[in-house]
Structures are given as structure tokens and as C-alpha cells.
């Protein structure tokens, strides 16, 4: 039997629904006349399992899992890694420094742009954005250890 | 009626105040750019720019954000017609015949018909909104928990039924959204649910990080910069005016698109997307020469473009009259008003007349601005499209981070956005549309509270939903839709939605 995309997706949702049910064991279901905090999540989790199972069972109509293309996963992974690093640094370094580094890293590491234009672009757009938000729109942005 | 006109006149005095008109213009301009740029739709655009409105008053904030919303519906047609790339989801159908017209040298005419159709659809929507919303708000004061529950259930079922992809996929996405909406403190009992000892999750997961993650970052992750370069057809200004024959071919589709779009708009769901798909299907069905569709049929541009604008205005009816978000976008608008201390609902028209009528009047002004803005400045928008994507997406990621962080000054929200970006990327790989997920997240608290309150009111008797006239009507409608869906599912009949999805897939492959 060929493994189809919907077999995988359906199985994931069945597993996810079961996980939610497992995490809901300490939440009281209550009664119909006085539903508890676990009442609604458990109903939705059961529906998720049901719909996931239907998706998997009808999976024969979907495309083979092997044909799902992942050629962009390297690009996506690098964007996520660089953005995650920026998020981790955001509150420590502040808006200006973090975003200059973020844009510079995306341009140089992923897009293979030359250092000087990448530096000029990242400093320029971040500075313009800072002025726009802080001075024109009066919206304070996260400051770093040097006060900007 | 007289009091409505007096109130509308007051609204115009608010909307035409220089500062408010300026923010309407800024909203329309930014919205057009949001619509033009592929990879950043109205939801991400509004969410990212939400912090920009913090320094404004409530009226200016809603005028600007709504301008972004309906401006994006205009702008989305530009990339569809000139590049065959939908600037946002509701412009997908315009790609087919809009681009075909452009290849025949009629790009200017297609843009003009799209802009005029959008203006007519949008303006008609505002006219009906002006008349309908205030009395509907009076009726809505009679809504209790069972009516709200029935209305929200109908919205979910309607969204699933209208989806051209798959009923099961749409319902799965809605369930996922509802489950995400259960995270945080339970309002009725005070229990912490799925918060994993993170205090920041006590208030639940916000709409903004989820929406920006799924639609902003998720789109970027799915779009490698190497594949983002496309040919752009530049229209000549002298070719902007359609011929008399093209106008006559566009007249009826615009009329039908206006009515259809508005009706779809007031029903919960991603109305602006559904309406354009439905309008295209209707136009093809009623056309004398359906074989022209896909080869540059004027009706294939006029109908969907009119319908999506009429729907985006229609979506404001339940928002302003009932306080119910019918789409993720209107949910973010509610959030924006709440940040400014304005609670949306049936009492809005009486408690905040400046906000309500100023907003309604600003839509008349905004739609006119967009008509004037879109045609002469089409060259400028084409220039924006020439910015290399490699330079554009780092900028969008920066705005995603600022937009999400500034709402609550919470870095946890930014992490949630990043996670949702990855989720959005994975969902696209398996052909899931993330929009119902956000709608589920938005309505989860209202649905849960109204369902539990209804059961408490009736001492656990489910018949409460069938014993009150309004909720009974809504439930009958829901059951009818389910029966229709089950009928085609069991008999495996290819109904109009399946045929439409197949047609779209065929068009995409060519």
C-alpha cells in the first residue's frame, strides 16, 4: 500500500487529539447541567480524533507522501534558526541592534549578498523604521543596554 | 431613517476631519501595498501594523486598520493581473482571466474593471451597512447564550461547507484553532488549562502571534527567494480605459458580484475569499460562452473582484451590530478597539457614536480614495513589485517581530509566532488552509462560554437550542448544510465545490 499525504496528516491529528485528551485528565468534565473546564476541550479533542481518522481512511484519494516536496526546507530551516536567534536576543540587545543583525544575517548567510550592501541596507531600513515608530508614530520600541 | 441620515451626517463630519481623513488615506495606501505584495495578506498586514495605532484615538485606529483591510482587496488584483500571483487569497480567481487579459494587451482595462467593480461592491456594502447595522444591533440585544452558540456553530459549518478544498480539512483546522483557544485560565472556573506553568499563557494565546506566524512568517518560509522572481507586465496609462464592449460585459457580473459578495460577507467565515470563488463559479455558469473563461473573460475579473470587496464590507455588519468576529481579520479589528477601551457589540452605536458613524462614513470616503489611488498609481505599485524578494522578506520578518512584540510587550508571543510560522509551513505542505484555524481560535472563548451558559440555563438540556425561535432557525440552517454536505459525501457526487476545486487545480497546473 502506498503511503499517502493524508494518511500522515490524519495520523498526526489522531495522535494530537489523543495527546490533548491525555493532557486533559486533570481537568474536570463536570456534568451537562454544570460543565467543567475540561468539558469543551475534551469534546473538541474527540472531534479532532474523529476527523483525523476520516482523513486518514479517505487518504487513498490524496497524493503519495513521497511526492510532497521538501526542497525548500533548507531555506525555511535557516530562516527559522536566524529568526530564533534574533528573538532570543531581542530583549537583551534591544530593537536596533537585534534587527540590524537579523537582516544582515538573512542577507549574507541565506541570500549570499555582499557584505557592504547588506550592511548598508540593514542599518538603513532599521534606522528608518526606528525613526518612523519612535518619533513619527510615538510608539516606543524595545531598548538595549545602551539605551536604544 | 431620518435619524440614520442625521447620524451618518455626523459620521461624515468625523470622517472628513483632516486627521481622520489622513489616517483613512494612509490605511488605504498601506492596504493597497499589502494587497500588492505577495506573501503578506491583510491579516498579517493589520496585525503587524496594530502597534502603529497605539498612539491614535479609537476612531482613527479603526479607520486606518479598516482602510488596510479593504485597501488590500483592491491591491490584491494588481499582482494577480500583472504577474499571475495573487497578492492575497481572495484574488486567486482574478489571476486566471486577469492575467489572460494582460497577455492580450488588456492589462490596463482589467485593472480598471477590477478597480471600478471593487468600488461599486465596496460602496454598496457600506450603503447597506448604514441601513442594516443599527436595527440589527437592536435585535441583537435580544440574543442570549443559545443564540450566540447557534450563530457560531452555523459560522463554522458554513465555512466548512463553502470551502472548495475539503470539508474534513476545514473542520480539522477549526478544531485545532478551537483547541488553541482553550489554552489559559478558564473564565468560569479559574482552572489553568494547558499552560505548562508558563504565566504568560494564563491569558491564552493571542490572535496576533498566531495570525502573523501562520500568514506572515509561514508564507515567507514557503517562498524561497530564488523562486520569487516573476515577469511583470507593465500596463500603459493610455490603455487603462476599457472599451464599450468590455464595460457591457462587466456590468452584470459587477451587479451579481455586489449582491453575492455582500450576502456571503455577513455570514461568518473567510467571506472575502469564499465570495470571489463563488462569484467566479456563478459567472462561468451563467456565461453564454463559458469556454472563454481562462482565456481572458471580462466577467472572470469583474465578478470576483467586486464580490471580494462587497464581502469585506459585509463582514462589518455582524462585527458592528453583534460584536461577533466573522473572520480572523475582523477579530483583530475587535482586538484593536478593545486596546483603545471600546468594546464592540450591540451597544457600540449608542455608547460610541463617533467611532461607529465615523467609521461607517470613512468607508465611503476610503472607497472613493482607493478608486482615485489605484488607477493613476498603478505604475508605482508595479515598481514596488520590482524590489528583489531577497531584500523584502527580511524587512517583513522584522515587522512581524515588532508587530507581535508591541501588542503585549511579551517575548513569549514572539516565540509563539515563530512556532506558528513553522506550523503554517507544514500545513501548506499538506494542503491545509490555515484560515479556519485562526477563526476557531477567535471564536473559541465566545463559543465555549455561550455553550456552557446555555447548558447551565437549561439545566443540561440540549433542547434549549431548538426551543427559542432565533437559535432554532440558525440550527435548522446548520443541519440543512450538514445534510447537503453529507449527501454529496456519501454519494461521492462531484458537486459545484468539487468541480470548482478541480477547475482551480487545472488552472494552476497550466
> pLDDT per residue over B477-509, tens digit each?
889 888 887 776 666 555 555 555 555 554 444
Would residue B206 be called left, alpha or beta, if left means φ above 0 and alpha means ψ between -120 and 50 degrees?
beta
Least confident of B1-10, B104-113, B167-176: B1-10
Full DSSP string of A1-52: ---BHHHHHHHHHHHHHHHHHHHTTTS--B-SSSB-TTHHHHHHHHHHHHHH
Question: Which chain B residues are within 8 Å of A87, Cβ to Cβ?
Answer: 401, 411, 414-415, 418
Q: How far apart are CA B414 and CA B213, in angstroms?
A: 9
Full DSSP string of B168-211: HHHHHHHHHHHHHHT-EE-TTT--EES-TT-GGGGG---HHHHH
Q: Compare all CA atoms of chain A with the CA of B390 and give the residue at the minimum distance.
A: A111
pLDDT at B230 over 50: yes
> Which band of pLDDT confidence, cut at 50, 70 and 90, is reported for residue B1?
low
> Which band of pLDDT confidence, cut at 50, 70 and 90, is reported for residue B66?
confident
Q: Which domain holds residue B6?
A: 2-509
- The length of chain A is 148
Is A129 in contact with B391 (Cβ distance < 8 A)? no
pLDDT at B134 over 80: no
pLDDT at residue B294 in the model: 83
Question: Which chain B residues are within 8 Å of A32, Cβ to Cβ?
Answer: 455, 460-462
> Which band of pLDDT confidence, cut at 50, 70 and 90, is reported for residue B199?
confident
Q: Compare all CA atoms of chain A with the CA of B403 and give the residue at the minimum distance.
A: A141
Q: How far apart are CA B476 and CA B465, in angstroms?
A: 10
pLDDT at residue B336 in the model: 80
Least confident of A111-125, B9-23, B170-184: B9-23
Neighbour count for residue B472 (Cβ, 10 Å): 15
Q: How far apart are CA B456 and CA B70, in angstroms?
A: 41
B230 phi/psi in degrees, rounded to 5: -135, 160
Least confident of A35-44, B59-68, B72-81: B72-81
Q: Least CB-CB distance to A68: which of B191, B429, B448?
A: B429
> Is the ipTM above a cut-off of 0.90?
yes
Q: How far apart are CA B108 and CA B81, in angstroms?
A: 9
Question: Which chain B residues are within 8 Å of A52, Cβ to Cβ?
Answer: 172
Is B456 in contact with A48 (Cβ distance < 8 A)? no
pLDDT at residue B156 in the model: 80
pLDDT at residue A16 in the model: 96
Q: Does A115 touch chain B (CB under 8 A)?
A: no
pLDDT at B238 over 50: yes
pLDDT at B232 over 70: no
Residue A48 forms beta bridges with which residues? none
Q: How far apart are CA B50 and CA B232, in angstroms?
A: 31
pLDDT at B460 over 70: yes
> Do B283 and B498 contact (CB within 8 A), yes or no?
no
Is B418 in contact with A87 (Cβ distance < 8 A)? yes
> Do A145 and A98 contact (CB within 8 A), yes or no?
no
Is A33 in contact with B455 (Cβ distance < 8 A)? yes
On average, the pLDDT of chain A sits at: 91
pLDDT at B233 over 70: no
User: SS3 sequence, B454-468?
Assistant: HHHHCCCCHHHHHCC
pLDDT at residue B237 in the model: 61
Span B156-173, average pLDDT = 77
pLDDT at A7 over 60: yes
On average, the pLDDT of chain B sits at: 81
| Count of structural domains, chain B | 1
Question: Which chain B residues are within 8 Å of A107, Cβ to Cβ?
Answer: 390-391, 394
Span A110-137, average pLDDT = 89
pLDDT at residue B38 in the model: 65
pLDDT at B110 over 80: yes
> Which band of pLDDT confidence, cut at 50, 70 and 90, is reported for residue A99?
very high
pLDDT at residue B54 in the model: 76
% of chain B surpassing 70 pLDDT? 88
Q: What is the pTM of this model?
A: 0.80
Q: Least CB-CB distance to B394: which of A34, A80, A106?
A: A106
pLDDT at residue B509 in the model: 42
Q: Least CB-CB distance to B394: which of A80, A87, A103?
A: A103
Q: Least CB-CB distance to A102: which of B397, B425, B448?
A: B397
Amino acid at each position: 500500500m502506498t503511503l499517502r499525504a493524508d494518511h500522515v496528516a490524519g495520523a498526526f491529528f489522531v495522535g494530537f487529539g489523543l495527546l490533548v485528551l491525555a493532557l486533559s485528565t486533570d481537568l474536570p468534565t463536570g456534568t451537562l447541567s454544570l460543565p467543567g473546564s475540561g468539558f469543551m476541550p475534551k469534546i473538541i479533542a474527540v472531534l479532532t480524533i474523529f476527523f483525523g481518522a476520516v482523513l486518514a481512511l479517505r487518504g487513498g484519494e490524496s497524493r503519495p507522501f513521497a511526492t510532497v516536496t521538501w526542497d525548500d526546507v533548507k531555506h525555511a530551516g535557516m530562516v527559522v534558526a536566524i529568526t530564533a536567534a534574533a528573538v532570543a536576543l531581542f530583549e537583551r540587545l534591544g530593537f536596533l541592534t537585534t534587527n540590524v543583525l537579523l537582516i544582515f544575517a538573512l542577507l549574507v548567510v541565506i541570500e549570499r549578498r555582499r557584505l557592504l550592501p547588506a550592511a548598508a541596507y540593514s542599518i538603513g531600513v532599521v534606522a528608518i523604521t526606528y525613526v518612523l515608530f519612535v518619533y513619527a508614530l510615538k510608539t516606543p520600541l524595545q531598548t538595549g543596554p545602551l539605551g536604544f | 431613517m431620518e435619524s440614520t441620515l442625521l447620524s451618518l451626517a455626523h459620521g461624515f463630519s468625523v470622517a472628513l476631519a483632516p486627521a481622520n481623513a489622513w489616517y483613512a488615506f494612509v490605511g488605504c495606501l498601506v492596504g493597497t501595498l499589502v494587497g500588492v505584495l505577495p506573501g503578506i495578506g491583510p491579516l498579517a498586514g493589520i496585525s503587524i501594523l496594530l502597534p502603529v495605532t497605539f498612539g491614535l484615538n479609537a476612531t482613527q485606529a479603526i479607520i486606518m486598520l479598516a482602510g488596510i483591510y479593504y485597501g488590500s482587496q483592491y491591491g490584491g488584483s494588481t499582482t494577480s493581473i500583472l504577474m499571475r500571483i495573487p497578492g492575497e487569497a481572495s484574488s486567486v480567481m482574478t489571476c486566471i482571466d486577469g492575467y489572460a487579459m494582460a497577455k492580450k494587451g488588456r492589462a490596463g482595462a482589467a485593472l480598471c474593471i477590477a478597480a471600478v467593480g471593487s468600488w461599486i461592491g465596496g460602496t454598496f456594502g457600506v450603503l447597506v451597512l448604514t441601513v442594516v447595522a443599527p436595527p440589527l444591533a437592536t435585535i441583537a440585544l435580544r440574543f442570549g447564550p443559545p443564540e450566540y452558540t447557534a450563530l457560531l456553530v452555523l459560522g463554522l459549518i458554513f465555512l466548512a461547507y463553502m470551502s472548495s478544498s475539503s470539508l474534513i480539512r476545514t473542520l480539522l483546522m477549526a478544531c485545532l484553532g478551537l483547541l488553541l483557544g482553550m489554552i489559559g485560565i478558564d473564565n468560569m472556573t479559574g482552572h489553568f488549562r494547558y499552560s505548562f506553568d508558563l504565566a504568560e499563557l494564563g491569558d491564552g494565546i493571542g490572535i496576533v502571534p498566531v495570525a502573523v506566524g501562520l500568514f506572515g512568517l509561514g508564507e515567507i518560509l514557503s517562498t524561497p527567494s530564488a523562486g520569487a522572481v516573476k515577469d511583470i507586465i507593465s500596463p500603459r496609462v493610455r490603455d487603462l480605459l476599457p472599451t464599450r464592449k468590455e464595460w457591457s460585459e462587466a456590468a452584470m457580473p459587477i451587479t451579481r458580484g455586489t449582491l453575492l459578495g455582500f450576502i456571503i460577507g455577513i455570514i461568518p467565515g473567510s467571506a472575502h475569499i469564499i465570495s470571489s470563488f463563488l462569484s467566479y463559479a456563478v459567472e462561468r455558469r451563467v456565461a453564454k460562452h463559458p469556454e472563454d473563461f481562462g482565456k481572458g473573460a471580462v466577467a472572470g475579473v469583474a465578478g470576483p473582484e467586486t464580490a471580494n470587496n462587497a464581502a469585506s464590507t459585509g463582514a462589518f455588519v455582524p462585527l458592528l451590530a453583534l460584536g461577533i468576529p466573522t473572520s480572523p481579520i475582523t477579530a483583530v479589528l475587535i482586538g484593536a478597539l478593545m486596546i483603545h477601551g471600546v468594546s464592540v457589540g450591540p451597544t457600540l452605536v449608542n455608547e460610541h457614536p463617533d467611532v461607529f458613524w465615523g467609521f461607517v462614513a470613512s468607508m465611503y470616503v476610503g472607497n472613493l480614495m482607493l478608486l482615485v489611488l489605484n488607477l493613476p498609481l498603478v505604475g508605482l505599485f508595479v515598481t514596488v513589485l520590482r524590489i528583489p524578494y531577497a531584500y523584502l522578506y527580511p524587512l517583513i520578518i522584522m515587522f512581524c517581530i515588532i508587530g507581535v512584540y508591541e501588542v503585549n510587550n511579551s517575548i513569549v508571543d514572539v516565540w509563539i509566532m515563530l512556532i506558528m510560522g513553522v506550523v503554517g509551513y507544514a500545513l501548506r505542505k499538506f494542503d491545509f488552509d490555515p484560515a479556519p484555524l485562526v477563526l476557531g481560535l477567535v471564536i473559541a472563548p465566545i463559543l465555549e462560554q455561550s455553550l456552557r451558559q446555555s447548558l447551565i440555563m437549561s439545566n443540561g438540556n440540549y433542547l434549549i437550542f431548538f426551543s427559542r425561535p432565533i437559535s432554532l432557525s440558525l440550527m435548522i440552517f446548520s443541519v440543512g448544510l450538514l445534510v447537503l454536505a453529507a449527501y454529496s459525501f456519501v454519494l461521492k457526487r462531484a458537486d459545484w465545490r468539487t468541480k470548482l476545486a478541480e477547475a482551480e487545480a487545472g488552472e494552476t497546473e497550466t
